[in-house]
Structure 1
Amino acid sequence: MSPTAVEKRKVAPLATPTDLKSNAIQDISGALAALLADVFALYLKTKNFHWHMSGPHFRDYHLLLDEHGEQLFNATDAIAERARKIGGTTLRSIGHIARLQRINDNDADYVTPEDMLAELRDDNRQLISILRETHDVCSEHEDVATTSLLENWIDEAERRHWFLFEMTRQSK
C-alpha cells in the first residue's frame, strides 16, 4: 500500500522537489550551512570592527567596513534560500552558527585599527578557501546554480581581501 499525500508530508514536511540525489542534497546543504555560519561570523566581526573603529582614518575605515558588512549580509539570505531550494535545511539559531563556524570571533575590549584590518584580511582569505571548497562540493554533484552563486561570492571576497591587503601593506 503506498503512502497518502498527507502521510508523505508528515515524513518530509520541508522536502522540496529536486532532481539532485539525496546524497547531493545532504552534502550541498551541509556545506551551505557551514558556509552560512562563517558568513554570519565574518559579518558580525566586520560590524563589530565597524562600530568600534577609531583613529585618524576613522571615516574611511568605518565606511569601508560598513560596505563589507552589507555585502556579507546580502549573501546570507541567498545562501540559506539556496539550501532550501534544493530540498535541504539551513541554520536555525545563533547556537547552530557557533557549532559550525570556522571564522573565529573577536571579543576583545579593544583592537587597534591596523589589527582590525589585518584580521579581516586574513578572515576574508579564509572565507575564499571555504567558498572554493563549497564550490567543489557543488560542482561534484553538478549543481550549476549553486556553483554560479559561489563564483560571484568568491569574486566579492577576493575584492574585500584585496582592499584589506592593500590597506595593511607595509611600506618598505
Structure 2
Amino acid sequence: MASTAARKQCIPKVAKVKNKAPTEVQITAEKLLREAKESELELLPRPPQQKITDVEELNNYKLWKRKTFEDNVRKNRTTISNWIKYAQWEESLKEIQRAPSIYERALDVDYRNVTLWLKYAEIEMKNRQVNHACNIWDPAMTTLPRVNQFWYKYTYMEEMLRNVAGSRQVFERGME
C-alpha cells in the first residue's frame, strides 16, 4: 500500500491548457530558424578592414600574427591544420624561407601525414625550387611508399621540367 501511494506522488500532473483557440499568427519551425539567423547576423557586425600604413606597423602585425600561430602550434602540436594555416600565411607574405621551415617542424611532429608532404612539395614547386621539391619527394616516397599521389606528382613534376628520363625513372621506381 505504501508503494502505490509513493508512485502516485512521483507522477507529475499534466498542465491544463486554458485557451484552446488557434492564434491569429502561426509560428512555424522555418520562421523560427529564419528569425534566429537574422538576429545572429545583426549581432555580429563585420570587422573593420585594417589598413597598415607603414613598415613598422606591418612588422608589428607580422610579429603578433606569428606569436598567435606559434601559441596555437605549441598548445596543439598534433593538430596539423594549425601547421598548414601557419605555413600558408607565411607563403602569402612571400616569406619563402619561413614556410618550408614550418613544414619541416610539422613533419617532425607527424611524418606520416600525406597532406603535409603534399603541401610542402607544392609550396616548393610554386616557388620554383625544383631541387628542394625533389629533396622532399624522395624522403616522402621512402617513408610512405604506398601513397600513389607522391609518385604521380613527382612524375608529373619531372614531365613539366621536360626530364623524360627522370620521369621514367620515378615511374619505374613506383612500379617496383
- Using the size of structure 2 for normalisation, the TM-score is 0.27
| Higher alpha-carbon Rg | 2
Q: Larger relative CO (CA 8 A, sep 6+): 1 or 2?
A: 1
